[in-house]
A = this chain, B = another copy of it.
């Protein structure tokens, strides 16, 4: 099952600057060989369900390992059985109608 997801991770208890924790997540997606795209409020991720969710788990593990005692994440994720769809196609589908 393929999934297109959007992850926003918030480390809690480490002050107001959280970008180095987010950067660590991006490296995880990269090393996992996943398609990903950083935006201003999260990261789009595309891949097989198990690989995407293994990377999400790895984010929590790594961020705790970096010293954050608490993490709250928001993940949106979509699956479909009617047809394959990539992140680019999702965006193009909207842009074509603008």
Please determine whether A41 and B94 come into contact, CB atoms closer than 8 angstroms: no
Please determine whether B71 and A80 come into contact, CB atoms closer than 8 angstroms: yes
Please determine whether A69 and B82 come into contact, CB atoms closer than 8 angstroms: yes
Number of interface residues of A (CB under 8 A): 56
Residues of B within 8 Å of A70, CB to CB, are 16, 78-82
Residues of B within 8 Å of A37, CB to CB, are 39-40
Known: A23-B94, A72-B78, A75-B77. 19 other contacts (CB 8 A): A1-B57, A4-B40, A4-B41, A6-B8, A6-B42, A8-B72, A10-B12, A12-B12, A12-B16, A13-B82, A16-B80, A19-B96, A41-B42, A53-B53, A69-B81, A69-B82, A70-B80, A71-B80, A73-B78
